[in-house]
Structure 1
């Protein structure tokens, strides 16, 4: 850890300890996670350290292979053709690789969006995205703009790739007598530790009780997470969307798989220098903290916000539906390039890599689309019955 990283770690720890004191000695976990990831100038996603690729802490699909973004571009082209135009909005565009891939493929297909908009809160990441687009697609840079809030009106395609897993979550524990407890963060002799308190976060007791009514997460000692910020987020997105398709791509499970008895310590994971571990209280400001996505909750919140569920499938089936095999055949100019594409495709498609672990959920709004003829990405396998 260099001096700059050490200073961030010390300052963020002090910021969290001060908030613990302000809240009476126990800070709900979602607020801790929000500070650890997004505290201005200190949180992991805004402090400026490399995050993506070999020099960062993890690798996302666009860094693994340009085929990922090109496949999403095929889906975007279908939607933009149906709408006779429109925009693309990408949440949290990371390194900018996905935006580059989508724009270049749409340019080749003569189906560019009116605007490619990126909603990015981190000034550091905004700068990296601008640099990536200026270098790889300078002729398309003027078509791009950056936002820090949702637009008032939107028509087109919204993409959120590995966004939901980084939303702050509440954590809960079932007590020895079956009571519902909230996991909070406290300060013990200068060290951040966990404690279990009666539920303080609005809606947490009701949400866990609903799981109990479904026969889930009932055993004493069972711990897991619930994303109570999901519904307000999707409501805000729906308020902006007039016509379009929202694509949510992330690792996660339908609810019954998420809260199965064997997964009794939840799904919370941290990523630091390409090592995954389960301690969110170390490397503060320097490591990612994530939780898997309950896609049943996403579908329910989307429906309540005015969307229709357009499809749900694995990443592998989604990319196959978008024609990844054809893109591989037409993209490889040399044997070495063909080998690189094949290796990248394996990481995107294989069940032991990202193919089964990652899911794609689509939400339609205001769009006259024959759902009997699914969007291309959902045409290979429909898993909505598992939600």
Structure 2
């Protein structure tokens, strides 16, 4: 992978590439990119965990909301998961619908879009028992649908440009070669798309602040909106609002790497072997969504979404004193999803709709049920 990046830098007229190009090569270059390689990435043997791989109750609760949305808005049971990972989230969703809504399951279509050949193979293996599952390499292969499109940790893995304010001026960070190693240089921002993004988002950096500019996210969102004729778009990810990006805590930006479940601060080290990620811009996702025909319904914390969608119904009563029993472990996983300080504390859910003109309830009315002990 290092050779490919060196070639890209060498072929550039000015001997440098943007962070966006670097991330795209490091993550998505065929065969050698991180997501394109034939190796485990998610879970204990990989470099990171996702919420859906920690508890099946997460997927079952998402399924409960999908069923509600389909019934509430008279949508066809057509679902599209963008970035399917190991297939575990799809397995939980499909299992729940097959068990609880057999009539809906009989008419269901479930699309998965994933650029990774390795992950598509894992998904085919995990979902071999389910009907009407279509695994696609690109969103361009997806027909225009009525239904629900959703993602879990998708936009955080997309390429970003990196800018910094220094001595009152805005600079873009580029990658070049210095003394035989990848290094960073700053050049005045001239990219009109970056300047336009900052203008429409009314973003003003403080002195010394770095920020990721997600132009690839905006472009991909436009493709998503173009493939959704009527229904919902659900984005589950970690990120901040424009106001939160101003907080001193985020002054150095959020671009970082993960390898063997350890954070890697220098993202230029071992490209292709390290997962690269940055926090997403939720205000930009909402604003550009409106530009592309989506209506913003609600932005809420993942805990709130799960509670409103009925995750507490997944709790099981148990009298077993063994804290390592399957029921006890499952209930603890649910607790970790809904209590402050748990994994959901880092995630938000943005709900957007398109073409739904009738009034609807965004969440089901939940009947009170006893909470089993954790």
Instruction: State if a TM-score over 0.5 links the two structures.
Output: yes
For 2:301, the equivalent position in structure 1 comes to 314
The reply to whether residue 147 of structure 1 matches residue 136 of structure 2 is yes
How many residue pairs get aligned? The number is 356
Partner residue of 1:94 out of 85, 89, 96 = 85
**1:173 CA drift (Å):** 0.7
Whole-Å separation in 2 of the counterparts to 1:207 and 1:174: 16
For 1:234, the equivalent position in structure 2 comes to 221
Partner residue of 1:224 out of 211, 218, 228 = 211
Whole-Å separation in 2 of the counterparts to 1:238 and 1:208: 22
The reply to whether residue 290 of structure 1 matches residue 281 of structure 2 is no
The structure-2 alpha-carbon separation of the partners of 1:158 and 1:251, relative to structure 1 and needing over 3 Å to count, comes to same
8 Å contact from structure 2 (residues 69, 362) kept in 1: no
For 1:299, the equivalent position in structure 2 comes to 286
Map 1:1-387; keep pairs closer than 5 Å.
12-23=1-12, 24-81=14-71, 82-110=73-101, 111-112=104-105, 114-134=108-128, 138=129, 140=130, 142-150=131-139, 151-176=142-167, 178-209=168-199, 213=202, 216-219=204-207, 221-329=208-316, 336-370=325-359, 373-376=361-364
Whole-Å separation in 2 of the counterparts to 1:376 and 1:299: 23
Superposed CA RMSD in Å reads 2.0
Whole-Å separation in 2 of the counterparts to 1:168 and 1:18: 19
The structure-2 alpha-carbon separation of the partners of 1:149 and 1:323, relative to structure 1 and needing over 3 Å to count, comes to same
**1:188 CA drift (Å):** 1.1
| Greater Cα shift, 21-30 or 315-324 | 21-30
**1:355 CA drift (Å):** 2.1
The structure-2 alpha-carbon separation of the partners of 1:333 and 1:370, relative to structure 1 and needing over 3 Å to count, comes to farther
The structure-2 alpha-carbon separation of the partners of 1:369 and 1:168, relative to structure 1 and needing over 3 Å to count, comes to farther
Whole-Å separation in 1 of the counterparts to 2:31 and 2:192: 28
Whole-Å separation in 2 of the counterparts to 1:13 and 1:376: 50
**1:70 CA drift (Å):** 0.4
**1:257 CA drift (Å):** 0.4
The structure-2 alpha-carbon separation of the partners of 1:167 and 1:208, relative to structure 1 and needing over 3 Å to count, comes to same
**1:210 CA drift (Å):** 5.5
Cα deviations by residue, 1:82-107 (Å, 9 ceiling, x for unpaired): 32423110111001000000000111
Cα deviations by residue, 1:276-332 (Å, 9 ceiling, x for unpaired): 1211111221111000011001100111100001211000000001111112238x7
